[in-house]
Structure 1
Amino acid sequence: MSRRAYKLPIGLVATALLVASPLEAAKIYRWVDAEGNVHLSDRVPAEHVGNARSELSESGRELKRVQAAKTPEEIAREKELEKLRAEQQRLIEIQRAKDQVLLRTFRTEDDLLMARNGKLAAIDSNINVIRSNIRRMKNRLAEMQQSAAARERQGQPLSQNLLKDIENTRSQLRDSYTTIIQKEQEKESIRNKASRDLARFRNLKNLREENTDPQLDETGGPSLLDTVVVCADDRACDQAWIKVEEYVRQHATTRLQMLSDSIIMSAAPLKDDDISLTASRIRHKDKPGAELFMDLQCKPSPLGQELCKTEAVEKIRLGFRDYISGGQAQPDPTPPREMESE
């Protein structure tokens, strides 16, 4: 015998159960529909099968509960939640492994900072070698350009070997400056990683955020990346390149030795108070635009190196980005000498 479903006030539910026969009460189900009405019946209609329901005893005690059927949206959310939890657990395990490596590698934060400074010093040494090679290439290029100019004045044709050597040297200069930028970016990555590792190390060791030896936390001064300007496309780069030439002419104290669409270079410093500037337009390989990089060099002599450390020269270095981006050039520490392009 099937009993009809009734919509009853909650207060009448217990009474309805008490008057039911033992045989019939064994199959009494209770559920609430979307409108909040309570239903009691020995069967669940098809339209309510998805609702949460309870199976009740003769006394009205809940014997079993069936959860509401999940909607497709709820199922999709649960699957997404499972994926997120799995990824979260994977990240937790990775972090735990990193923490173990960190604690096994360094006993103190000084060890960590010394390792960082050692890596930075090694890269700086590499950069110094590259800059030394750049000085030699500049001198070699100047000699070849002088030779080419002399042959032209004498009405003699330029040999293909000489033209090829000039172009190869220019290409090597561009590659060298590209390498310097990459090395500076590598240094920046090392600093950032060391900073994160130090914060994590202190957290794991419950240490205060202070260093026992301030000398170990030095970063080695300003980065050459401070003179990098990124332009988004050829038009923006062409406009910026005009300002790059202006800046080099205003601040270099040696004559302009090379002027092209990819490199602007003044002659190598010969005197202790010489300032040589080289700007490179390093095009992106996989996207539009380029990086405009300026390098400042003083004579590799004690007085020349002291000049490069002065505040006035540092203003030239740091003023490049503001000037190219639309600001004003920093005051020149010394009046520029007359420059001529060969």
Structure 2
Amino acid sequence: MAFSALLAALLLAAGSAHAAMYRWVDGNGRVHYSDTLPSSYQKNGAAEMNKQGNIIRRTQSEAERRAEAERQSEQKRLLQEQNKQAQLDRALTSTYTTEAEIDLARDRALEHHKLAIKGAEIRGKAVDANLADLRTRIAQIEKAGRKVGEGLTEQLEQATREQQELKRTIQSNEEAMEKVREKYAADKVRFVELSGKQ
């Protein structure tokens, strides 16, 4: 009864003005009614009511606004992914007509990396031979009790750096080849899926 009287008094006090009536709950769980929403409670959300005490609009809490923003962001991300996949599908079906064509494209893409690896391996053999020769000469000089010249030390360091760089080149191309194989394998699977849908 007291609650109804309070609500009626608040509604009468509002008169015929167009000011909104708000309902909010404080930190102790008490319900409050007012024609203005305290700024300290705006982040917690509130309900705007009409003169009859019916809720006409609900203000979202900060947590609800955050959750809504995250939901919209996720929806946008999913839509972008769907659009990107549709674009990739169109490119796939317009580029290839058979699975064999995909295999041919994969082999062409791998050829560049194979040549880079072969070139690095050939050069690597020459560098390895040079390093072996340099180390033999340095060992002979040290065995004779003489000092190794700066030029010879620099040649050894340079050859060692080149050997390491060639190993990196081989490794990076092998990794790239694996990615190429994975990409074309995935393209092939998707092509078969799309072909089955048509």
If the TM-score is normalised by the length of the shorter chain, which range does it land in? 0.5 to 0.7
Matches within 5 A, 1:83-232: 83-206=73-196
Q: CA deviation at 1:187?
A: 0.9
Count, aligned residues: 158
* Code of the aligned partner of 1:136: A
Instruction: Kindly report which structure 2 residues correspond to 1:1-342, keeping only aligned pairs within 5 A, or say none.
Output: 5=4, 46=34, 50=47, 66-206=56-196
Report the CA distance shift for 1:167/1:66 in structure 2 as closer, same or farther (over 3 A): same
**How far is 1:99 from its partner?**
1.5
Report the TM-score when normalising by structure 1: 0.41
Indicate how the Cα distance of structure 1 residues 175 and 65 shifts in structure 2: closer, same or farther if over 3 A, else same.
same
Q: Distance in 2 between the 1:157 and 1:71 partners? A: 80
Q: Whose helix fraction is larger, Structure 1's or Structure 2's?
A: 2
Counterpart Cα distance in 2 of 1:145 and 1:200: 54
Question: What is the one-letter code of the residue matched to 1:87?
Answer: R
Query: Which AA in structure 2 matches 1:50?
Result: A
Asked whether the equivalents of residues 48 and 55 of structure 2 are also in contact (C-alpha less than 8 Å), the reply is: no
Aligned-pair identity (%):
19
Contact in 2 for aligned 1:120/1:190 (Cα 8 Å): yes
CA distance in 2, matches of 1:202, 1:65: 55
Cα deviation, residue 121, structure 1: 2.9
Unaligned runs of 5+ in 2: 6-32, 36-45
Q: Is the 8 A contact 1:144 1:166 kept in 2?
A: yes
Partner Cα distance (1:126, 1:69) in 2 = 63
RMSD of aligned residue pairs (Cα, Å): 3.0
Which of structures 1 and 2 has the larger relative contact order (alpha carbons within 8 angstroms, sep 6+)? 2
Measured in 2, the distance between the counterparts of 1:106 and 1:52 equals: 62
* Partner secondary structure for residue 133 of structure 2: helix
| Deviation readout 1:94-121 (Å, 9 max, x if unpaired) | 2222122222222212111111122223
Task: Name the SS of the counterpart of 1:50 in structure 2.
Answer: strand
| Residue type of the alignment partner of 1:126 | A
Amino acid at match of 1:72: E
Contact 2:49 2:57 in 1 (8 A): yes
Maintained 8 Å contact 2:117/2:170: yes
- For 2:171 and 2:125, locate their aligned partners in 1 and report how far apart those are by CA, in whole Å: 17
Q: Secondary structure at the match of 1:66?
A: strand
Cα distance in 2 between the residues matched to 1:173 and 1:146: 17
Relative to the length of structure 2, the TM-score reads 0.67
Structure in which a larger fraction of residues adopt strand: 1
